[in-house]
Amino acid sequence: MTDRYAVIGNPIQHSKSPLIHTAFGSATGQDIEYGKIEGAIGEFAATADAFRAAGGKGMNITAPFKLDAFAYSTDRSPAAELAGAANAIKFDGDRVCAENFDGVGLVRDVVHNLKRPLRGKRILLLGAGGAARGALLPFLAERPAELVIANRSLDKALMLASIGSEHGAVTGCTYQDLIAQKFDIVFNATSASLRGELPPVHAMVFLPGALAYELAYGKGLTPFLRLAQNAGVAHLADGVGMLAEQAAEAFAWWRGVRPDTREVINRLTVPLV
């Protein structure tokens, strides 16, 4: 019997999740059907209930419903608790289990696909919102020399750093505090690129041989990546690998088998030009 899954968001037409999970199902021999649902704002619970009543087994969650999915769930993983948001749920009898695979997907893309270890490196994370929260513990689990979180609001950066402080070397600061600091890997977890804007970071933050990683995907050479390129950074990446890897984590959580991601990443990659 075919098992039903879906991604929910608003808007949702742009989502690549059906393509990704359908490819995963074919590659692993799993009998699934995967669709997309444009949920009405303020009606997440009713929409999820209807999908569940119709036999749905699980859902991926995208903007703006990650907080709604977290509130809707009955059982939450530590990653979901830390992020305060869920990007995947599954239905298990009366239970609704919530997970957040964004951070682990990001780390796997960098370490496994891009062959850039985080251990012993100086890492800069731009932004202190939901994406940064999801990445915090997976980053620190890799034992970087230091993780610096920069944000417009110092309070938010310090709060996030305090959450991670017992897990590794992490500090919070404003963008102005980055003067004279340099990093091996710089992640843009702000929403600036979604608006075609540049986060307020200077071009001198990149060490020779650095990696500049844009969490947004499919945008080509964003203002952040262009800044890095103009600063002489040769290693640029966007979030397409993160998208595929977090999807593979959700698929494995639902189905018990983890698909290979390389074909999907190659299919979705947009040249950074």
pLDDT tens for 62-80 read 989 999 999 999 999 999 9
Peptide bond into 64 cis (omega under 30): yes
Report which of 126, 136, 121 is spatially closest to residue 166, judged by C-alpha positions. 136
- Per-residue model confidence (pLDDT) at position 177: 96
The predicted pLDDT at position 236 comes to 98
What are the start and end residues of each CATH 3.40.50.10860 domain in the chain? 3-100+244-268
- CATH 3.40.50.720-classified regions of the chain: 103-238
Q: Which of 16, 36, 66, 121 is catalytic?
A: 66
**What CATH code is assigned to 103-238?**
3.40.50.720
Cα(220)–Cα(230) distance, integer angstroms: 15
What are the residue ranges in the chain where pLDDT is below 70? none
Upstream peptide bond of 11 is cis (omega within 30 degrees of 0): yes
pLDDT of residue 208: 94
d(CA 51, CA 57): 9
Tell me the C-alpha distance between 138 and 107, whole Å.
7
| Strand-pair partners of 13 | none
Structure pTM? Answer: 0.94
Predicted local distance difference test score (pLDDT) of residue 246: 97
Torsion sign over Cα 193, 124, 133, 175: negative
Position 197: which residue type? E
φ and ψ at residue 117, rounded to 5 degrees: -65, 145
Average pLDDT across the chain, whole number: 95
What is the model's pLDDT at position 235?
97
Is the separation of the CB atoms in 58 and 34 below 8 Å? no
The helix/strand/coil state of 115 is coil
Within 8 A by CB and 6+ apart from 6, the residues are: 34, 35, 36, 37, 51, 56, 59, 60
How confident is the model at residue 82, as a pLDDT?
A: 85
φ, ψ (nearest 5 deg) of residue 224:
-65, -45
66 catalytic? Reply is yes
Give CA–CA dist 76/98, Å, rounded: 5
* 16 secondary structure, DSSP code: -
The CA-to-CA distance between both ends of the chain, in Å, stands at 44
Look at residue 194 in the predicted model and tell me its pLDDT.
81
| Cα–Cα distance measured from residue 157 to residue 163, given in angstroms and rounded to the nearest whole number | 10
* pLDDT at position 193: 86
Task: State the chain's maximal CA–CA distance in angstroms.
Answer: 60
24: left (phi over 0), alpha (psi -120 to 50) or beta: alpha
Packed helices 130-141 and 154-164: angle between N→C axes, nearest 10 degrees: 30
Q: Report the amino acid identity of residue 6.
A: A
- Architecture of 3-100+244-268 per CATH? 3-Layer(aba) Sandwich (3.40)
